[in-house]
Amino acid sequence: MTASRWREIDELFQLVAEWPRESRASFLSGRCAQDPELRREVESLLAADDGAEAFVACKFAGLDVLADIADGTIPAGGRAGEYRVVRLLGSGGMGSVYLAERDDGEFHQQVAIKFVRGGEDRDWAKSRFRIEREILARLNHPNIARLLGGGTTANGTPYLVMEHVEGLAMQVWLSRNQPSIREILEVFAALCQAVAYAHRNLIVHRDIKPGNVLIQANGVPKLLDFGISKPIVPGDDSTVTLQRAMTPAYASPEQVRGELVSTATDVYSLGAILYEALAGRPPFELAGATPAEAERAICERDPLPLGGVPSDLAKVVLKAMHRAPERRYSSAENLAADLRRFLDGHPVNAQGDSYWYRLRKFIARRRGPAALSAALVILIIIFAANLLVTASRQRQAFGRMRDMAKSTLLDVPERIAGRSAGDIRLELGENYDKFAEPLARQLQKEVGVIREIALGYEKLGLVLGIADARAMGDSEVAIGYFQKAIRLVEPLRGSWFDRIMNREALEGSRAIEARSHCNIGRLLEMEGASPAAEYEKCLAIYETLVDPNPKPGAHNLKEFVRAHLLVGSVAATAEQARSHFETVVRISVNQQAHKAVRNAPLLWEADGLWRLWRLDSDRGKLEAARRAITEARVRGASFDVDSRLLELRIVEDWGSAGETHAVREALRRDLPGHPLVRRTLASGY
């Protein structure tokens, strides 16, 4: 047999081996119609692959064990170092996994040991094993199976010793437990966090599927098998799926086409297995399909309709599975955040494709002048009609707002005469309610009007709560006003026309929602309650408004940074807190590199570094924080209350008595009645 003939056979075998057995015959019939000998050779390799009996001699701690790695038949009782093999757990493309027990007398422990398979691709498998070992050594997350150790047998067979996870494969768990939608989404939110953690460590899994997820008895998922995962190296294009190592039913279009994969590839796979968990079937009907037919289905068609689930949840799944990577969630964390929004009863960020998006895709598919002209004519007609209707509605809306405000507030001077400042604030709030609530009900689809009403509620909350320098406000009432602002703007997503013409108002509404969550959290924290949920909601919204790598002076950037600081300050673990604080420092340093940016990033950097110092006790970070805040003072940066309190904390931690006294006295002089300042000075910190 010639080398070129062998390459032809091997390439066809590698292609067909990835597909279900029932699909292979029909594909080979068409592909090998003129070459029956080629078909016989490939079928011979497939048969050998399915039931190989290539025995490999392995030595474990001086004991020779005859092992069929491809079949996974290491006898019970065989040893691997200090571990005794108990039984086979499963086999995959690169190796077999065994349950083993440590019985060297030190302590008892059950583990999973993975051995590389034999065969002609042994060198490739050994290379992948080394990569998997390096990857697992970098990952330490409660939802990822941990690496405990590893080594190489006397005959050169690599193995990994991993945490043994007692649980059910996802499909088995779904079948046996019949979980509710809420239970499924709780599992997936945790799974998304595990994938997001891997991505933060620059790892793309590339083979997320139900078989690689075990659900433990307590409902906690564990992600397994990083065997074909890939470290992300800037400028490295080796994440192109040259061998197309994947599971087609859950593979993204770019994987199926053999193109470059990214973190968006894992987001797609998460969406695909979530689809199957909710619908009870895969997103595409691939049974009996040839590889070419399956590729067309995945790359060119929409998934089967996802019936029986709420429409908002269906939008989340379909956004995760969008054929275009840039149209998916930008991260697994954002997917988890939208699942959490759905669970909490809030509107999700995922939306179906807009008319504008579909029109652009229509033009891209039909580039002829006629199609372009027709599309432009249609767009102009729709645009003009919407403009006329919207202008008329907004004139009426603002006219009604003006009339109701005048009639409601006309007698305010008489009603507030002789009353305390606190009573006046409450009176103004009650009067605002009288005209704002009915107006909002009548004009609930007018984006600009609703935004202005919500902004009024936000300002009332600030007056009655956080911004009340004399602490005469009422936290409970203030929280109520912030919640009213949130309820008003939450449903606002706008028509496609609004998203073009009123984009600023829509984004402003989302910012009001985020700020209100943040302010509720701060009030809860002042009252001694947990603010974590409110801070996380605030950050999740800003993540939809601000790019992960923001441009210089990006809109909402200051609030985005502050949300990271707040979430980090109440994070459940030091690792989660560190991630948020390091994000703040990274953004701050990047912003300072641009001359057009003002001095605020110096204050952000100081805040992030100070919090890292408090987390790690690394005095170098405290010194860097002190330099940053001193430079901000020299450059004339604008110090708000939070920045001035940060300055106090830094100089106190630094241990400079003179500086500490000067900063404390300045706070007493400039902000004598501010509740945050008063509380900080009274506590000695």
Active site residues per annotation: 207
The alpha carbon of 632 is separated from its chain's Cα centroid by a whole number of angstroms, namely: 33
- Please state, in angstroms and rounded to a whole number, the distance separating the CA atoms of residues 578 and 436: 42
How many Cβ atoms sit within 10 Å of the Cβ of residue 341? 20
Q: Which two tokens stand for residue 484?
A: 């009213």
Residues 161 and 147 sit within 8 Å (Cβ to Cβ):
yes
CA distance 516 to 319: 27
Q: Which residues contact 553 (CB under 8 A, 6 or more apart)?
A: 591, 594, 596, 597, 598
- Number of alpha carbons in the 13 Å side-chain half-sphere of residue 407: 9
Contact yes or no for 122/157 (Cβ under 8 A)? no
Encode 347-380: b = buried (16+ Cβ within 10 Å), e = exposed: bbbbbeeeeeeebeeebeeeeeeeeeeeeeeeee
Radius of gyration over every alpha carbon of the chain, rounded to an integer in angstroms = 31
How far apart CA 431 and CA 420 sit, in angstroms, is: 17
What's the rounded Cα separation, in Å, for the pair 496 and 656?
57
Residues in CB range of 566: below 8 A, 6 or more apart: 518, 521, 522, 531, 535, 538, 539
Classify each residue of 98-108 as buried b or exposed e, where b means 16 or more C-beta atoms within 10 Å of its C-beta.
bbbebeeeeee
List phi, psi (to 5°) of 68: -95, 90
Q: Where do we find the tokens 């931690």?
A: 653
Which amino acid is located at 394 in the chain?
Q
Structure tokens at 590: 């990047």
Under a CB-based contact definition with an 8 Å cutoff, are residues 89 and 112 in contact? Answer: yes
Please check whether residue 276 is in contact with residue 211, taking contact to mean a CB–CB distance below 8 angstroms. Answer: no
By the 8 A CB rule, do 451 and 459 touch? no
